[in-house]
Chains A and B, each alone.
Chain A
Amino acid sequence: MEPILVAKNLSKKYGKVVALDNANLELYPGEVLGVIGDNGAGKSTLIKVLCGAVVPDSGEIQLDGKSVSFTSPIEARTLGIETVYQNLALSPALSITDNMFLGREIRQKGFMGKFLRFLDKKAMAEEARKKLSELGLLTIQNINQLVETLSGGQRQGVAVARATSFGTKVVIMDEPTAALGVKESRRVLELIGEVRARGIPIILISHNMPHVFEVADRIHIHRLGTRLCVINPKDYEMSDAVAFMTGAKQPPQN
């Protein structure tokens, strides 16, 4: 099977600090790839490069076998790489529907839409409801509820629904459970499963080892600006992963 997203020899320096040193990454269709690494290992730079927030000094990114380059998250998004940011990037004062379609609104047909540029609120609400129910999120009662009235987990749900709604090829999730309680974290992990079940591969960055081990198919361990190894969570213990991450143990040769 061909990988859907490939990063080859990515390098990035900030002054004298080497954040990425010929880093590689492969994401295969339908999988959840966990990305872990110690603080300062360069994993957040790696993710920022993949989502378009940082332009690498050198290296190549391939999507669907084609070489791509982008200079902003918006460009990455139009290519089909969606990111669910840690802060979710939602507007609390806007409704769920408004947030899901922010920057990608549906306009009315005909004169009202073309010349007066009126929004088709009905179509947007229907679509939003459809997407949320596909992900099993219809406990949210009112689609026109303001996002600030939602719980942290529900907000995460809206952000994920938005990220998977627009012809998405890859979803990057940055610390999706970091700000949540036990129950809501559980719900988000289920949500990751739902997204994978719909065939969208996910890159999951998290500090939470149990969460990564629970949902990831493969785990990419990042160390000193580059990929140290990729492990199968079924073959290793969490303590092994931590040992690889910190350099206490030699990684498997593969």
Chain B
Amino acid sequence: MNKISDDISKDLKDQPKFSDDIGSKDQDHHSFELGQQSTLKKIQHFLHGNPTMVPIIILVISVIAFGFIAGGKFFSAFNLSLIVQQVTIVGILAAAQTLVILTAGIDLSVAAMMVLASVFMGKLSVEMGMPTMPAIFIGTAVGVLTGIVNGLLVTRLRLPPFIVTLGTWNIFFALVIFFTGSQSIRSSDIEINAPLLHFWGERINLGGFVFTYGAFLMIVIFVVLWMVLNKTAWGRHVYAVGDDKEAAELSGIRTDRMLVSVYAVAGLVVGIGAWVSIGRVGSVSPTSFYEGNLDSITAVVIGGTSLFGGRGTILGALFGALIVGVFSSGLSIAGLDVLWQRFALGCLIIIAVGIDQWIRKVSN
């Protein structure tokens, strides 16, 4: 369609000139457009084969752009490492979220699961005097358990994941309020009774770059999940179930068991994230990370994983989380109001999904 209208407008422009000329010009015009189209097609095919490249490109461009806009302050070792620290929790949640979204599901309850798990860790070790390690273990188990609950509701009751996790989000949040009485467990109390809970918040300085242990753990989680997804049968089945559940079933995959296990593993990752979050925040607050679920979905989507399942990479979510971090850091250093950070983030989501849809068209 475009080509035709372009041709027409060009013809119209050229009309008053010599009529002989039009023919040759027209041909040039055609060959030029064909050439351009094929490079575009090439890019499309390349991105289709390498879906992680989109978030990497966006990340690199945004880092460079904010370097210009916000200046040296943005590029300082301290600030760059601060961005990594800031995205740690959302990054871990996004890793769990990616697993669920790859199965064509969605998990709105991840953040509530994490807070619930951290409440168990804090309550048991700080207020009930349990040794810290078992408390952490039980908290993590709570993460796994809540994941299994989501998975069973999705597979047994055949409810859409969106509805199930919308429900459990509220239920888990209510449980958090119930167990804590809306009271935070203070950082100073944790430091005295269960300092191990703060472990992942410890910092190390590498030539000006300040990293928390938690940031390293986040990277480790991503690398491990990447290997699991790409090098094990379970990982391939995650993709197969999300891509075409019926086909996966006919290929001999027990899809319901797969789905429950995916939600359980997501719960495990969230449970580990709960420990890291205590180190990051310092205290255990029942109202923290209230938007963590949506932030994690944002990171996954910007990372190029399709909400329709079966397509995407776990590393994309890491880059997606970093992109969000770079945007909020860059915009705030540039002195823009928080509202513009949100505005930019909104645009980013729509652009990312738009690019994703365009790349998908290759297969049709």
Residues of chain A touching chain B, judged by Cβ–Cβ distance below 8 Å, are: 73-74, 77, 83, 85, 87-94, 98-99, 102-105, 107, 116-119, 121, 146, 148-149
Q: Given A87-B247, A117-B234, decide whether A148 and B252 contact each other with a Cβ distance below 8 A.
A: no
Give the contacting residue for B363; candidates A83, A99, A121, A148; CB below 8 A: A148
Stretch at the interface among B1-9, B75-83, B236-244, B315-323: B236-244
Name, among B233, B243, B310, the residue most crowded by chain A CB atoms within 10 Å (CB to CB).
Answer: B233
Residues of A within 8 A of B251 (CB): 89, 91, 99, 102-103
Extra contacts, 20 of them, besides A85-B250, A103-B237, A119-B236 (Cβ < 8 A), are A83-B250, A87-B246, A89-B246, A89-B251, A91-B247, A91-B248, A91-B251, A92-B244, A93-B243, A93-B310, A94-B239, A94-B240, A99-B251, A102-B236, A103-B248, A104-B252, A105-B236, A117-B234, A119-B232, A121-B231
Which residues of the other chain, A, contact B310 by a CB distance below 8 angstroms? 91-93
Chain A residue contacts of B196, Cβ below 8 A: none
Query: Which B residues have a C-beta under 8 Å from some C-beta of A?
Result: 49, 231-234, 236-237, 239-240, 243-244, 246-248, 250-253, 310-311, 362-363
Give complex CA distance A90, B25 in Å: 48
What's the dominant secondary structure at chain B's contact region?
helix
* Nearest Cβ on chain A to B208's Cβ, whole angstroms: 37
List of 4 A-B pairs having minimum Cβ-Cβ separation, nearest first: A103-B252, A89-B250, A105-B233, A148-B363
Shortest CB distance B310–A (Å): 4
Contacting B243 at CB < 8 Å: which of A88, A91, A107, A116?
A: A91
- CB-CB nearest in chain B for A90: B247
Contact of A117 among B232, B244, B252, B311 (CB under 8 A): B232
Shortest CB–CB separation between residue A189 and chain B, in angstroms?
Answer: 24
> Which residues on B sit within 8 Å (CB–CB) of A90?
244, 247
B252 adjacent to A92 (CB under 8 Å): no
* B233 close to A117 (CB less than 8 A): yes
* B247 engages A89 (CB within 8 Å): yes
Bound together, the chains give a CA A114 to CA B310 distance in angstroms of 26
| Contact for A93 among B232, B237, B250, B311, CB less than 8 A | B311
**For B240, what are the chain A residues with a Cβ–Cβ distance below 8 Å?**
91, 94, 98, 102
Closest chain A residue to B235 by CB distance?
A119
- Report Cα–Cα, A105/B232, bound state, in Å: 9
Most buried by A among B231, B232, B251, B253: B251
CB neighbours of A85 from chain B (8 A):
250
B252 touches A93 (CB 8 A): no
| A94, B253: Cα distance in complex, Å | 14
Contacts of A94 in B (CB 8 A): 236, 239-240, 243
Bound-state CA distance A138–B244 (Å) is 26
A116 to B244 CA separation, bound complex (whole angstroms) = 26
Query: How many angstroms between the C-alpha atoms of A103 and B240 in the bound complex?
Result: 10
Which of A77, A87, A91, A121 is within 8 Å of B252, CB to CB?
A: A77
What are 21 A-to-B residue pairs whose CB atoms are below 8 Å? Answer: A77-B252, A83-B250, A87-B247, A88-B247, A89-B244, A89-B246, A90-B247, A91-B244, A93-B239, A93-B243, A94-B243, A102-B248, A102-B252, A103-B237, A103-B251, A103-B253, A119-B232, A119-B233, A146-B49, A149-B362, A149-B363
What chain B residues lie within 8 Å of A88 (beta carbons)? 247
Q: A74-B252, A102-B251 are in contact. Are A119 and B231 (CB under 8 A)?
A: yes
Residues of A within 8 Å of B247, CB to CB, are 87-91
Q: Which of B237, B240, B250, B310 has the most CB of A within 10 A?
A: B250
How far apart are the CA atoms of A117 and B310 in the complex, in Å? 21
CA gap between A103 and B236 in the complex, in Å: 9
A118 with B232, Cβ < 8 A, contacts A89-B251, A103-B251 known: yes
A77, B236: Cα distance in complex, Å: 20
CB distance from B189 to the nearest CB of A (A): 40
Complex Cα–Cα for A83 and B252 (A): 12
Of chain B, the residue at the smallest CB distance from A145 is: B49
B102 (CB) vs chain A CBs: closest residue: A93
Q: Which residues of B contact A89 (CB under 8 A)?
A: 244, 246-247, 250-251
Q: Is the CB of A107 within 8 A of B233?
A: yes
Question: Which residues of the partner chain A approach B233 to less than 8 Å between Cβ atoms?
Answer: 105, 107, 117, 119
Residues of chain B with a CB closer than 8 A to A83's CB: 250
A102 surroundings in chain B (CB, below 8 A): 236-237, 240, 248, 251-253
A contact residues around B239 at 8 Å (CB): 91, 93-94, 98
In angstroms, how far is the closest chain B Cβ from the Cβ of A11?
25
* A98–B244 touching, CB < 8 Å: no
Residues in chain A near residue B252, CB distance under 8 A: 73-74, 77, 102-104
B94 to chain A, nearest CB (A): 20
Residues of B within 8 A of A103 (CB): 237, 248, 251-253
The CA of A202 and the CA of B173, in the complex, are separated in Å by: 57
Nearest residue, chain B, Cβ from A104: B252
Q: Say whether B231 contacts A118, CB under 8 Å.
A: yes
Please determine whether B232 and A98 come into contact, CB atoms closer than 8 angstroms. Answer: no
Residue among A98, A146, A149 making CB contact with B236, cutoff 8 Å: A98
Residues of B near A116 (CB, < 8 A) are 232
